[in-house]
C-alpha cells in the first residue's frame, strides 16, 4: 500500500524542464537573434510586435478570464491547473517579455525614436521597469514556489492556490499596463 502511494506521488511530480517549456524559451529568443544577425528591421518589428502581443494577450487572458474560472475551483483543482500550466509559463513569460522589451529598444534605436528626453520614452521606461519588477520579483519566484510545492510528498494545495491567484490577479494589472504601453508606442510610431 505504501509503495503504491509512493509511486503515485512520483507520478504526480512536475518536471521543471519540458519540451514545451524549452521551445517557449527558445523560439522568441532565436527569432530576436535572427532578426539582429540579419539586420532586418521588418523582422525585428515582427518579433517585437508578436512577442508583445503574446505577452499582453496572455496576461489579459490570465488576469481577466482564467482568474474568474479558477476562483470557482477548489485548491486541489487549482493545483492540477498549476501542474499543467506552470512548467511552460516559467519559461514562456520571461522569454516573451524580455524579447518584447529588448526588441522594442533595438527597434526604437534603429528608427531614431529613442531619446531619454522624450516624455513618451520616459513613460515607457517607467512602465517597463514596473513590469520587470513584477515579472522577475513576483511572478517568477511564485512559479518556482508553486513547482517546489507541487513536488513535495504532501503538497499544500492552499499555498499553491494562493500563489497562483496572486500571479493571475497580477496578470490583469500587467495586461492593463501593457495596454497603456501600446498606447504610448502607437503615439511614438506616428511622431
The tens digit of pLDDT for each residue in 130-147 reads: 999 999 999 999 999 999
CB burial of residue 46 (10 Å; 0-12, 13-18, 19+): middle
* Mean pLDDT over each residue of the chain, to the nearest integer: 89
Confidence (pLDDT) at 133 = 94
pTM for the structure as a whole: 0.84
The count of other CB atoms within 10 Å of the CB of residue 14 is 18
pLDDT (tens digit, 9 = 90+) per residue, 166-187? 999 999 999 999 999 999 988 8
Q: Give the pLDDT score at 3.
A: 53
153 membership: H or E segment, kind and range = none
Triad 134, 153, 86: Cα angle to 5°: 30
Q: Measured between alpha carbons, how far is 93 from 61 in angstroms, rounded to an integer? A: 13
Which of 19 and 121 is assigned the larger pLDDT? Answer: 121
The region of weakest confidence among 11-15, 34-38, 59-63, 94-98 is 11-15
Query: What is the pLDDT, as a whole number, of residue 7?
Result: 45
Q: Residue 87 — very low, low, confident or very high, per pLDDT cuts 50/70/90?
A: confident
Amino acid at each position: 500500500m505504501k509503495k503504491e502511494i509512493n509511486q503515485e506521488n512520483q507520478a504526480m511530480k512536475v518536471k521543471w524542464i519540458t519540451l514545451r517549456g524549452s521551445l517557449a524559451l527558445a523560439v522568441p529568443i532565436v527569432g530576436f537573434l535572427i532578426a539582429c544577425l540579419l539586420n532586418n528591421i521588418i523582422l525585428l518589428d515582427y518579433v517585437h510586435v508578436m512577442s508583445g502581443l503574446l505577452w499582453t494577450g496572455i496576461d489579459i487572458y490570465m488576469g481577466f478570464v482564467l482568474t474568474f474560472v479558477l476562483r470557482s475551483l477548489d485548491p486541489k483543482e487549482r493545483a492540477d491547473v498549476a501542474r499543467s500550466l506552470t512548467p511552460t509559463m516559467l519559461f514562456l513569460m520571461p522569454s516573451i517579455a524580455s524579447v518584447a522589451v529588448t526588441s522594442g529598444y533595438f527597434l526604437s534605436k534603429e528608427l531614431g525614436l529613442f531619446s531619454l528626453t522624450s516624455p513618451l520614452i520616459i513613460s515607457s521606461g517607467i512602465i517597463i521597469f514596473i513590469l520587470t519588477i513584477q515579472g522577475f520579483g513576483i511572478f517568477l519566484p511564485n512559479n518556482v514556489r508553486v513547482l517546489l510545492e507541487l513536488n513535495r510528498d504532501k503538497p499544500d494545495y492552499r499555498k499553491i492556490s494562493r500563489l497562483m491567484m496572486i500571479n493571475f490577479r497580477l496578470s490583469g494589472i500587467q495586461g492593463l499596463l501593457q495596454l497603456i504601453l501600446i498606447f504610448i508606442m502607437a503615439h511614438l510610431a506616428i511622431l
